[in-house]
Amino acid sequence: MSAIKNTRLTYYTNIKKPSSWPKYKKGMCDTCMAGCCMLIIEVTHDDLIRLKLTDAWEIENCLKDLIKRLKKLKIIKRYNSKNGKFIFGKKKSSDCIFLDNNRRCMEYKNRPEVCRNHPVIVSPKKGFCPYIPK
């Protein structure tokens, strides 16, 4: 749990409890310790292509081999065949595999759509974020 100080209020953020998340405001990411990078991250085929982890041919022709390869590399944890999404693996710290030691995304330019749209469009609680102050 992390305290979030505000001039008027103090919020307590619990990553696993969206009801504790503060309302997202522009600029929050600049002072955050990447709380959203500790959430479950579901990515699409297009995201994997953008990240240069595969290509359209491999997805179409060798999906089972791709899943096996990405699991072995610990890039994904599993594949959900019902919605066609991959679940990213996590570091032992529960951080996204692409988060560096400074808590910055190493793949920011190519980041998945879920990351691009968080927390306004895609979030367990739309419009709110698991903000952890630096």
105 residue type, one letter: C
Tell me if 132 sits within 8 A of 1, measured CB to CB. Answer: no
Q: What is the mean pLDDT of residues 81-102?
A: 94
Query: Tell me, what's the pLDDT at 134?
Result: 83
**DSSP letter assigned to residue 90:** B
Query: Tell me, what's the pLDDT at 5?
Result: 45
Q: What is the pLDDT of residues 103-112, one digit of tens each?
A: 999 999 999 9
For residues 107 and 44, give the distance between their C-alpha atoms in angstroms, rounded to a whole number: 15
Q: What is the pLDDT of residues 43-55, one digit of tens each?
A: 999 999 999 999 9
